Amino acid sequence: MEQQNLSQLNTLLGMLEQGQFVEGMEAFFAPDVTIQEVGQAPKTGRDLTIEVEKELLEGVSEFIQYSAHSIGAGGDKTFYEATMEFKTTDGQHVVQNQAVVTTWKDGKIVDERYYHGNV
């Protein structure tokens, strides 16, 4: 199970590195996925989470990078650290570090938690 989850995660990370956030969610999120940013209420459902992501991406004027490192797996979970860098439509240059913990079931993400901070 761990190897399959790592393989799926690596495919997803390849998509994220290309800026394909919505496509990655469409491919890997289970219909009843729950995602949660630290300190915020969870969001449930692939359609809702994709809609929220699209709204967030409307505020991005330039995608610079998404790079993952410190990747690992244990049981039904994968985890990694990542750096995301982009410019917003209001001119801000954002560099954000995050840790992501993902729970997998049948090759799909059923739960994902994001822990992040800006540099």
pLDDT in tens, 5-49: 999 999 999 999 999 999 999 999 999 999 999 889 999 999 999
Q: What is the mean pLDDT of residues 66-90?
A: 96
- Is the pLDDT score of 116 beyond 90? no
Sign of the Cα torsion 78, 113, 91, 59 reads: positive
**98 strand-pairing partners:** 82, 116
HSE, side-chain direction, 13 A CA sphere, residue 61:
8
Domain count, the chain: 1
Helices (H) and strands (E) in the chain, counts: 3, 6
**CATH no. for residue 111?**
3.10.450.50
Tokens of 65: 């990078």
- Name the token pair of 14: 């390849």
What integer pLDDT is reported at residue 1 of this predicted model? 79
Note the Cα 65 to chain centre separation in Å: 13
- Tell me which residue range forms the domain holding 46: 2-118
Answer yes or no: is pLDDT of 115 > 90: yes
Is the confidence at residue 119, as pLDDT, over 80?
no
